[in-house]
Structure 1
Amino acid sequence: MKRNYYLLLLIPCFLFAACDKKRERVFEDSPTERLNAAVANAQTILKSKPNGWIMQYFPGDNAQYGGANLFVNFTSNADVNVQADYVSSNVTSTYKVYPGAGPILTFDTYNSIFGFFAAPGAISQQVNNDVGLGGDIEFLVMKATADSVILKGRKRGNRIVLVPMPAGSATVITNYKTSYARFYSPNSYRFETAKGQTELEFGWFNSLLSMTTTYSVRATETGVSFYAESEIDGIKFKDLTYKPATTAYPNGYYDNAAGTVKLVPVF
């Protein structure tokens, strides 16, 4: 009986020792080692795409100015080539990934494409000329995998997504530039639903303004995408596809998959 009693007393000790060893296995790397590994992984992922990445970039507080597509190719541990849908420039500058609150990606030398968003007074007559469009050039790497890289702007906190550039990057970039030019060419827009119309005007850069709402828009290869899910007349949407001209819509239009909301250019 005593023997059984002693065995019962020993069981919790064995269990505690097993749990303690398990804890040691989970935390066998120090926080510094884990951070350095995350930095190395981010660097490796960024360089892993020979065609580079499409960076869905949104400047300003709460992405208030609309977005752009930046085409970034990390060609070495230090060099990055950058193009964009809104401008013909093709520039090379430097970047680095370093440890901070997590892996930090910074574009650490001047680059006119990022400078357009980040430099004070980049656009004349802006509402707040001291901060320009409020674009970030430093980002916390939230996730880095072969499928996507998720960033968070260190100043503005906007979510920035990088997706791999497909093969035939020159054609893809041309398609984005064409889509951007098409979106930006009208004087204004309007939403159309079964309930009626909502007039829109351009804000700074790629934002659209109604009487009550700012819509932050980015061109895509096939149409436009909004920074966040939006709603008009009870209809929620995020991505709209461009449809060519018809008799009723001589300048074409954008609509959702269900065809329940249209974004119509006004010239």
Structure 2
Amino acid sequence: MKLKYLMILILLPFLLATSCKRDEDRIFDANATVRMTEAVQQAYTVLQANKAGWMMKFYPSNNQEFGGYTIFSKFISKEEVIVASDPFSGFKTSTYSVNPESGPVLSFDGYNKNIHWFSEPGKDNGGIGADDSGMRGDFEFIVLKATADSVVLKGKKSGSHLVMLPLKGTEFESMSASYQEAAIKFKEFEIYQLETAGNKVVELGFDPKMRVFSNPNDPSAKDISFRVVPGGLEFYQPYTIAGKSVERVDYVAPTNAYPYGYYTDKDKTLKIIPAPTPLNRWFVNNLWSMSYKNTGTLGKTYWNAAKVSLDKNGIIVNNAYIGSIQGNTGLIFVLQNGAVFGGITFFLDPVEETEDQVYIELEGYGIGNFTGAYWNGGINTLATPFNRRTFKITSEDAMKPTTITLTDIGIPSNTFKLTLDDIDDPLNN
């Protein structure tokens, strides 16, 4: 009997400890659940409390290699949000939610081009970034802090830290419109030059699809990632350009010496100057419709011969193009009432030291679902007057023409009038 009571006394502390531990676990679990519920509710409350909305500086990739943008959001209920961003005009309403995960997660779960464009694959966003990952942006964000003066976010996918700042009054409407207007103005030009002391001018490395400059005079320097803001360009961080640290450049209106204006730093030690795109580069960078009626005397000879072959082989040509599409340059066709879209690659090379000449030569790789049967069935004849020829480009509009004419330098009767507008049934129009 004594032994029995002795065992009870020995085991009693362990039983009590185990019982307490279970109670503590239940309390801890309950506390964690309560804290998460409170954090989610806090995020909802803060986002909706500011009726004027929020503004966010947004660099979609954590390496900033695509540049920066500005996103505006107004959370009008617990389910709906209005979003605006500077690449697009206006604003759009969609749904959102704040979900409990490892922390509260703000999710723009209803499709909204103004924010989902940054996470779309490159094949869907206009060719920015890789076909599968695009700009690698986020539309889901871990909420690190939510207070009236700021909402601090972390991209769930990218890991980038972002801050939403509160707007006042009607700033959501007015500021989003001003940022969009600034972006449109900046996008008018595809070439930017850097002028430094001594009037030394060099063309900056620049892809019009992105907001990043590189300086060929200083290849070891970091690329300059920036946002377009009303009145200028704001850099992601201070960058050293021509020996000077610069974090913003402001726009200066056109003068006789600078007919398109320029951007300069606060000390006016450098200028970033917009310049018109040369006609040959404008031609190469776009996709142009061509047709029988807009073809010169020599070209019509080949197109007449092509018609015979195409009819014989049952090939229907719905549209015919020359230019650039999804990273390829060449002749592109819509065939068989839309069942076939593709073509054959051609080199379209601007002639060095000219702004209005281009050399065209067959490369020979297939694009899309275009096959050799279509090429040999008559399309090759349509392509013949382009192959291994140098053309002079003319247009009445020097800035961004929608219609141009190619004239063969060696054979003046070999001409093509091209347009950015689609021309249906090109063999008869």
Coarse TM-score class (shorter-chain normalised): 0.7 to 0.9
Corresponding residue number in structure 1 for 2:80:
79
1:112-142 C-alpha deviation (Å, 9 max, x unpaired):
2223221222234445101122111111223
Q: Secondary structure at the match of 1:63?
A: coil
Corresponding residue number in structure 2 for 1:188:
191
* Distance change (3 Å), C-alpha of 1:31 and 1:51: same
Corresponding residue number in structure 1 for 2:180:
177
Task: Say yes or no: does 1:205 pair with 2:210.
Answer: yes
* Distance change (3 Å), C-alpha of 1:166 and 1:246: farther
- What is the CA–CA distance in structure 1 between the aligned matches of 2:190 and 2:49, rounded to whole Å? 41
CA RMSD of aligned residues (A): 2.6
1:157-205 C-alpha deviation (Å, 9 max, x unpaired):
2233322234333332221111111222112212333374453133333
* Distance change (3 Å), C-alpha of 1:58 and 1:97: same
- What is the CA–CA distance in structure 1 between the aligned matches of 2:99 and 2:165, rounded to whole Å? 21
* Distance change (3 Å), C-alpha of 1:148 and 1:229: farther
| Unpaired runs of at least 5, structure 2 | 1-27, 277-429
Residue 243 of structure 1, aligned match among 237, 252, 255 = 252
- What is the CA–CA distance in structure 2 between the aligned matches of 1:166 and 1:190, rounded to whole Å? 37
- What is the CA–CA distance in structure 1 between the aligned matches of 2:91 and 2:275, rounded to whole Å? 32
Q: Secondary structure at the match of 1:114?
A: helix
| Higher RCO by CA contacts (8 Å cutoff, separation 6 or greater) | 1
The Cα shift of 1:61 comes to 4.2
Residue 262 of structure 2, aligned match among 250, 253, 256 = 253
- What is the CA–CA distance in structure 2 between the aligned matches of 1:102 and 1:44, rounded to whole Å? 16
Task: Say yes or no: does 1:263 pair with 2:272.
Answer: yes
TM-score if structure 1 supplies the norm length? Answer: 0.78
| 8 Å CA contact retained: 1:134, 1:156 | yes
Corresponding residue number in structure 1 for 2:92:
91
Matches within 5 A, 1:1-267: 30-120=31-121, 121-169=123-171, 170-194=173-197, 196-203=200-207, 204-211=209-216, 212=219, 213-267=222-276
1:28-54 C-alpha deviation (Å, 9 max, x unpaired):
x94554444333332222112222112
* Distance change (3 Å), C-alpha of 1:178 and 1:246: same
- What is the CA–CA distance in structure 2 between the aligned matches of 1:34 and 1:191, rounded to whole Å? 53
The Cα shift of 1:105 comes to 1.3
* Distance change (3 Å), C-alpha of 1:255 and 1:140: farther
- What is the CA–CA distance in structure 1 between the aligned matches of 2:152 and 2:250, rounded to whole Å? 24
- What is the CA–CA distance in structure 2 between the aligned matches of 1:154 and 1:186, rounded to whole Å? 34
| 8 Å CA contact retained: 2:89, 2:177 | no
| Unpaired runs of at least 5, structure 1 | 1-26
Q: Secondary structure at the match of 2:87?
A: coil
* Distance change (3 Å), C-alpha of 1:157 and 1:199: farther
| 8 Å CA contact retained: 1:55, 1:163 | yes
What percent identity do the matched residue pairs reach?
35
* Distance change (3 Å), C-alpha of 1:261 and 1:167: farther
Moved more, 124-133 or 74-83: 124-133
TM-score if structure 2 supplies the norm length? Answer: 0.51
Aligned residue pairs: how many? 240
The Cα shift of 1:81 comes to 0.9
- What is the CA–CA distance in structure 1 between the aligned matches of 2:183 and 2:194, rounded to whole Å? 19
